[in-house]
Structure 1
């Protein structure tokens, strides 16, 4: 026998089964497994945990006193939110530290499902405070304002408060969230109120961090009851060891940390399976990692196992219960295929027609042993298929099926697994698959794109093994000034180790899991460093902490802990008003005098269309879209007018947001643009009559709609811009092309929204000087600001501007939304082409799968790189889509925006298929929506489309400013596309028009 203290019990509560394992952690691989047990999951998961522990320990030769720790992975907490259970989810008060009205346009809960918001939103307010991402102060906190808010919260009887400060993750000097917490604590001294700081929950991205913090806060008290019930279950089965819960990233959370941050446990199940697979496979993982396929009773989860034994994490935001959060979560693809998946034979119309089968997502995984045919039931399941095929011997009854049914079902399961494995791979090369889970019998012995399939011993309880062998983690991040990066890394590493030790880690053996060193956009002398470490748990220290908790003395009679009542709130109002509308019959509101009054659905169309016109860049319009939706909900009016209705002497400034996307997600909204317009008006002594955007592509396409709303200037936005797309540079505008002078773009005013203002005057002698001045001013304002440029007259806009681009964005967005509503995404490219004016104006070049992405951030904050897209096999092609010519792959270089399309065939022949100024955009095949360069990743299926630019860009001067040579591409611009002026929404739907 091994020494006392080397035994750990792992439990994973899945949707179908609750698995448990006793592991000797002094050994590795299958030899470490002493015993295991698999039991059905009950509606009260605590009972499942207690029962599986009873059986596991009863059949084990190890004395229970020798067990040094229990680690549990559970979906219990996320289920409370998904089920909208108001008995387990509580109301929360939110205080956002965001001085000078930063983010006021996107208040707390702005992007929440209405039904969930109704359960959780107790109170929210925005009060002074906030820091920039470089740590510099925006404004100090106001202690009196904090105390005033505390009185309001107290009067409302709320017991949980979330504090969210702009820039909180990089606030290492002012500690604003902690100071506010201390002030609140003084007011709530005897009231037993939970106070949560957002920086303790998640990282950069204000709204997503705030959302994660609110979700976490809403289930704090429930989590404490749940952890207490787990402790009671331990006591009843005779375990007297520390309790841990496993996290989304594959680490241990002490019982106290789990009660404080239950959101970190939401997706631990998939991670446990991947970590367990790594433990069982050991050194066979290889340098490039492998794919783990976990087939359960109801679903299959597919994720990528990195060489370090941890899962690859998702790089983008994650949706939890319909709410967007920025937590570190495993990148896992899930599909409704499991051992209990129901197989339906679809009716065929004629004897010669091939039999069609539908597998899942309906499942009898919970009741497989009573409902499957092989157990005497009456449901045909996937398990019955492999039993009938003779692949396994299982059940109590023989299963007789036609060979056609068996072959069709097995082929469909094989195709499904191959598709999801391919989406999870890190390269197109054949990979190793580790097969785990109780439903592994469904997987064939050979799969396309897979070099070998490994089924380890004890694979059926890999999730519980993953829980048992998990470690304590710690992380830290810091932005440093200057060039001494090694010293900065050492400092951050030391802090990460301290953080892990504070949570119960043993520093005698530290593993560095991740070390990131990246430059801060727009700030050449600043570097952001992040380090994550892992270490074994110090069980003795954690045991001492637990012994100090009064409620550890739990008697067997405490049955209240095992009683669970649920109050499900009906999901009324889950959909917004816009999502209930039949898009086919929708008509926008246009007045007789040509004023287009925008609705929420119009904003949705515009948001999707502007992102398409961003041609890979421009930034996502999502945050601006939320701000506009909020304005409508407050009763404000937002309008657009046609270029044709402008008067010759109208004065129309061009406006835009300038700066780093990293800042915009941490500091959304704000009044920078509004102040810039005011400053320009005062500087020129001109009253503006309308507003317009410099670029229609991306978030800037929507920016003037905020500024022009009835809440601010109450001016219509002109239906048009100066690019017809997105471009990366200040001078990439039609007015510069047509005037041949940088002074045609000046003056420009820049405002931070916090009182900082900069004027870039006219009469510049150096054509490059204004761009440098704008960039330097932007850095000084926290790497983001609002800008307003020299106004055009109505006559100039008609002669120098690009008209009807908001109409074009609206039409593109409408086509995408209609395809989503009608489930007709396979024909979306053709519908977009028709909307643009036919195949002389727009074309589909290619449909394929992203194979490789190269990307780097330049010192000017431009994303520079290229993406390689390979053609799909015939089986991967969408229905009705032909293979795109003879090209086996295409390469698209980008600099913020997509710059060219180069086709390649099997013989090595290359051809330039398109270049700027053509609009080159990639659509996600699964959603139909645009993909920005920051979202390019391996395995994503995309449709590559091109569209003709406005004729200003195809002139000699236009090509010099915005063609291939402007981006150092060695290509000549050649195109057979012909520009078609977009149809005006205003003219089509104006009363008496041609709608």
Structure 2
């Protein structure tokens, strides 16, 4: 029986190969029968053929014994990163969305040059599904054929079809499939990519992935076909051919040709998995950095104690484009064995050499000095400065040639050779140490695994050891030069399921068993040629409702070169009388910049305590209003508002899960227009219903709209997010009657309701929730206005300022590569240790959830994990200085928002360590940003922060009755987490800064 495996990694400089016997992993050679390294050829299939021939010859193996050939390649992602017109095709996108998402066209958050290259056409067509599978609009064949005619006339041959909630189609609508069939019938020459076949739930990220996939299809087909031809026809191997995926598992060649995007990040994954394989028998389980030095680049990633690469947040960037693939968290720099070394032409003695980022690449054997060429490379400098080659006659001659040519190249430059060699060693180590520091998430030194063929460029000391700043020790395992090929050879099969299943009348275990069976079947389909029981690794992602892009990251790096020095714009506003008793607020307005908006977005999601929906689409919408329409976004102190001013309020109502798929239409403004057309007045200022989540940006969007153009109060009615609209401070302080009538909701799809009378805010909520379930579980809501006087009585002050401060704290930690301490930084912004604390650090180990009447119910369990170097700064479950420290598990039940934090001890005891109205915020340990309840998934490394809720909730029985644990049917009395401290106004702090 054929059991031997060949792994090949095709890099920019070299193609590495390994022949492995998986049954002999415990042997001294780890089952490695042969290995080789060969320059990558312009036609990579020729290099693959050479590598395989050498492997078989070295091991003296019959080709019939080969069970599989697995290839890792960076060719496809390089085409995107390099923005190569010759390998990328323009793409047309047909969105099946009905009236939704029009304000957020494809590529809105892409690098401009890549968007202009790929996003050639978009059409917003009828179609799309609601979260429950009901139809938003029926697909229209006439529309599709008309668009196909336009696309064909434009010469575009790659088409993406993306339908709202298409991956969660449980009713058999098959909208994307039907549209694909219509396209094929009227434009058969086109390549059609259905988004649901490329990625999972998360509309924008899935569409991005589908566009990248479509743009590379033709090139990928040609390349993979050449791989297969070389292996199956020229070499006469009868085994299957696979490509490695981003997560380290394998994909059949035919599937890879259809879905090349799944291979984009396979190179770094192969190296990390190969490195783990090489040391797992001899190194204790601990987190360590893998530094893979190739011919062109150095890739650095974290290998966790589990032996698996640390994953980036599920929303990751490829060439500046957000996608929702599982990928290793890797940083890359232009340093490799072929990097070009140049002598500076100025007199800056402190930096007399530059290294890279350009490289001679696969031409190193022709152009490097050591091979008789005329281009000085890192390999040349390393060989001259160190005795890196065995002292054979041939090696002595080769090194002497490099030395002579190096001396020729510096003649007349004013430097001697020892000076240059010393400068080279310092520069090379400095570049490596910098990327190591950027990859770490704390100041602690970590072990470093040094692999890759380019590792020879790093100079050992007199004892033959390599030392690097930031590394507790440097390990160079045997076979390190081909770790990437070894990683490809050991890659396994997986089956991934992301679906929506009804939980009615079924246990969680029954649902998990069904999803597990689906995943196993998909794994078997992925590779029927391999023995399942011994070689498969089944990856199951299961959920009873849609899961999202995961990380709440805005994905927008701060444009400020010095975050700590950034000063917001505070302007004295003319024409407003001062009725405030607060002298610092007199007539001043805060004009938001894009940087302000980025930070507020991050802070809003953290204050959302798991709910409120992701702010990211609303951030993009508002940023586009600022960029394209010149909208001004203004914030004012609550005390600045006149008592007689009309204060408007609006936001989104419904399940936060919907927001990951059904991007906003005009429902928000539509509900406002219906309300104020009925009243015959206009508001003079807006206020947010809640600061938490996406609703924290809705007041800003409404205020900046062209038909309003009014400022927004620095405050809201919740100080966080709550699941229902009557859980607000006006109800606490004004009594249990209807306060905001009329109230209007709009679903953006032609359905509107205007509620004119009701007995209470709670009754308004109940009536609208009943309608909400039939309106897609998400609507825009406009609440009746109130007076400025009442607003100042009810408002929780300075919550936009607080969001800004939290977001800035996260950005500062990330800019300083200190994400391990982001929890403490957040605590510092919300009042310090007296007001907040770290409740838990670990990983998510289980999630249960269901959607009922627009609410997401469930609970998440977080367990202790070895998270050193993973953005959490501790291996223990709890913060060491926390009064609630324990070891075990933290259970967090939620209803849209997190309600309780319950410590489960190893002995089975339970203790509530935090509860509403205090804030329980679950954050991604890799980014420091919030994770919403729809985004909870197994394996995410997290930290949990508890923050004291506003005294407007906690200082009265009425507040606790409406916003405390018993308001949610929980048998628990509220105990304060700490002392609430009022956030400081940004306007107050910075009004005289300029």
- 1:977 deviates by 5.2
- 2:659 corresponds to 1:658: no
Q: 12-21 vs 253-262, which deviates more?
A: 12-21
User: Conserved in 1, the CA contact under 8 Å of 2:500 and 2:544?
Assistant: no
Alignment of 1:817-828 (within 5 A): none
Aligned pair in 2 of structure 1 residues 723, 120: CA closer, same or farther (>3 Å)?
A: same
Question: What residue is the counterpart of 1:207 in the other structure?
Answer: 204
- 2:9 corresponds to 1:12: yes
Aligned pair in 2 of structure 1 residues 649, 14: CA closer, same or farther (>3 Å)?
A: same
- 1:262 deviates by 0.9
Q: 250-259 vs 195-204, which deviates more?
A: 250-259
Alignment of 1:719-730 (within 5 A): 719-730=714-725
- 1:174 deviates by 1.6
Aligned pair in 2 of structure 1 residues 44, 577: CA closer, same or farther (>3 Å)?
A: farther
Aligned pair in 2 of structure 1 residues 196, 835: CA closer, same or farther (>3 Å)?
A: closer
Gapped regions of structure 2 (runs ≥ 5): 342-352, 391-397, 404-416, 549-554, 576-586, 905-909
- 2:547 corresponds to 1:518: no
Alignment of 1:530-549 (within 5 A): none
Aligned pair in 2 of structure 1 residues 657, 282: CA closer, same or farther (>3 Å)?
A: same
Question: What residue is the counterpart of 2:48 in the other structure?
Answer: 49
Aligned pair in 2 of structure 1 residues 53, 305: CA closer, same or farther (>3 Å)?
A: farther
Cα distance in 1, alignment partners of residues 329 and 868 from structure 2: 25
Q: 491-500 vs 140-149, which deviates more?
A: 491-500
Question: What residue is the counterpart of 1:131 in the other structure?
Answer: 129
Question: What residue is the counterpart of 1:587 in the other structure?
Answer: 569
The residue matched to 1:479 in structure 2 has which SS? coil
Question: What residue is the counterpart of 1:697 in the other structure?
Answer: 692
Q: Deviations over 1:261-317 (max 9, x none)?
A: 11011122244346557877999999x99989575453343335869xx86765621
Cα distance in 2, alignment partners of residues 258 and 875 from structure 1: 31
Question: What residue is the counterpart of 1:789 in the other structure?
Answer: 783
User: Conserved in 2, the CA contact under 8 Å of 1:916 and 1:973?
Assistant: no
Question: What residue is the counterpart of 1:216 in the other structure?
Answer: 213
User: Conserved in 1, the CA contact under 8 Å of 2:333 and 2:357?
Assistant: no
Cα distance in 2, alignment partners of residues 139 and 786 from structure 1: 19
- 1:671 deviates by 2.8
Alignment of 1:164-183 (within 5 A): 164-172=162-170, 173-183=172-182
- 1:193 deviates by 1.9
User: Conserved in 2, the CA contact under 8 Å of 1:434 and 1:456?
Assistant: yes
Cα distance in 1, alignment partners of residues 385 and 922 from structure 2: 37
Question: What residue is the counterpart of 2:80 in the other structure?
Answer: 81
User: Conserved in 2, the CA contact under 8 Å of 1:923 and 1:931?
Assistant: yes
- 1:203 deviates by 0.6
Question: What residue is the counterpart of 1:600 in the other structure?
Answer: 594
Cα distance in 2, alignment partners of residues 361 and 55 from structure 1: 31
Equivalent of residue 227 in structure 1, options 194, 209, 224: 224
Q: Deviations over 1:108-145 (max 9, x none)?
A: 10111112212212112212110123322111112222
- 2:666 corresponds to 1:668: no
User: Conserved in 1, the CA contact under 8 Å of 2:441 and 2:818?
Assistant: no
Alignment of 1:439-458 (within 5 A): none
Aligned pair in 2 of structure 1 residues 949, 22: CA closer, same or farther (>3 Å)?
A: same
Equivalent of residue 322 in structure 2, options 324, 336, 357: 324
User: Conserved in 2, the CA contact under 8 Å of 1:291 and 1:303?
Assistant: yes
Cα distance in 2, alignment partners of residues 334 and 616 from structure 1: 33
Q: Deviations over 1:553-582 (max 9, x none)?
A: xxxxxxxxxxxxxxxxxxxxx999965899
- 1:248 deviates by 1.8
Question: What residue is the counterpart of 2:581 in the other structure?
Answer: none
- 1:828 deviates by 9.1
Cα distance in 1, alignment partners of residues 799 and 360 from structure 2: 52
Q: Deviations over 1:154-177 (max 9, x none)?
A: 221112111111111122512111
User: Conserved in 2, the CA contact under 8 Å of 1:736 and 1:745?
Assistant: no
Aligned pair in 2 of structure 1 residues 581, 39: CA closer, same or farther (>3 Å)?
A: same
Q: Deviations over 1:857-880 (max 9, x none)?
A: 5555256457689999999999xx
Cα distance in 1, alignment partners of residues 870 and 164 from structure 2: 48
User: Conserved in 1, the CA contact under 8 Å of 2:611 and 2:656?
Assistant: no
The residue matched to 1:164 in structure 2 has which SS? strand
- 1:606 deviates by 3.0
TM-score normalised by the chain length of structure 1 = 0.72
User: Conserved in 2, the CA contact under 8 Å of 1:654 and 1:693?
Assistant: yes
Question: What residue is the counterpart of 2:119 in the other structure?
Answer: 121
Q: 651-660 vs 40-49, which deviates more?
A: 40-49
Alignment of 1:828-977 (within 5 A): 850-853=841-844, 856-857=847-848, 860-862=855-857, 864=859, 887=882, 890=885, 895=894, 949=950, 951=952, 953-962=954-963, 972-973=975-976, 975=978
Aligned pair in 2 of structure 1 residues 186, 633: CA closer, same or farther (>3 Å)?
A: farther
- 1:106 deviates by 1.5
- 1:676 deviates by 3.2
- 1:412 deviates by 13
Q: Deviations over 1:696-724 (max 9, x none)?
A: 22221111333444356555444431123
The residue matched to 1:744 in structure 2 has which SS? coil
Question: What residue is the counterpart of 1:798 in the other structure?
Answer: 792
Question: What residue is the counterpart of 1:754 in the other structure?
Answer: 749
User: Conserved in 2, the CA contact under 8 Å of 1:692 and 1:717?
Assistant: yes
Equivalent of residue 672 in structure 2, options 667, 677, 681: 677
- 1:337 deviates by 10
Cα distance in 1, alignment partners of residues 482 and 501 from structure 2: 45
Q: Deviations over 1:308-330 (max 9, x none)?
A: xx867656211111111012334
- 1:214 deviates by 0.7
User: Conserved in 2, the CA contact under 8 Å of 1:258 and 1:265?
Assistant: yes
Aligned pair in 2 of structure 1 residues 725, 494: CA closer, same or farther (>3 Å)?
A: closer
User: Conserved in 1, the CA contact under 8 Å of 2:608 and 2:692?
Assistant: yes
- 1:18 deviates by 2.6
Q: 859-868 vs 200-209, which deviates more?
A: 859-868
- 1:519 deviates by 2.9
- 1:628 deviates by 1.1
The residue matched to 1:226 in structure 2 has which SS? helix
Cα distance in 1, alignment partners of residues 208 and 441 from structure 2: 32
Aligned pair in 2 of structure 1 residues 676, 381: CA closer, same or farther (>3 Å)?
A: farther
Cα distance in 2, alignment partners of residues 652 and 760 from structure 1: 19
Question: What residue is the counterpart of 1:349 in the other structure?
Answer: none
The residue matched to 1:105 in structure 2 has which SS? coil
User: Conserved in 1, the CA contact under 8 Å of 2:704 and 2:710?
Assistant: yes
- 2:269 corresponds to 1:268: no
What value does the CA root-mean-square deviation take over the aligned residues?
Answer: 6.1
- 1:587 deviates by 2.8
Q: Deviations over 1:798-854 (max 9, x none)?
A: 222234433554465567667877999999999989988xx7x88796689923556
Aligned residue pairs total 897
Cα distance in 2, alignment partners of residues 769 and 359 from structure 1: 70
User: Conserved in 2, the CA contact under 8 Å of 1:97 and 1:164?
Assistant: yes
- 2:105 corresponds to 1:107: yes
User: Conserved in 1, the CA contact under 8 Å of 2:842 and 2:942?
Assistant: no
- 1:607 deviates by 2.0
- 1:205 deviates by 0.3
Question: What residue is the counterpart of 1:157 in the other structure?
Answer: 155
The residue matched to 2:569 in structure 1 has which SS? coil
The residue matched to 1:698 in structure 2 has which SS? coil
Alignment of 1:500-515 (within 5 A): 505-506=528-529, 509=532, 513-515=538-540
- 1:184 deviates by 1.9
Question: What residue is the counterpart of 1:483 in the other structure?
Answer: 505
TM-score normalised by the chain length of structure 2 = 0.73
User: Conserved in 2, the CA contact under 8 Å of 1:719 and 1:806?
Assistant: yes
User: Conserved in 1, the CA contact under 8 Å of 2:839 and 2:879?
Assistant: no
Q: 240-249 vs 841-850, which deviates more?
A: 841-850
Question: What residue is the counterpart of 2:69 in the other structure?
Answer: 70
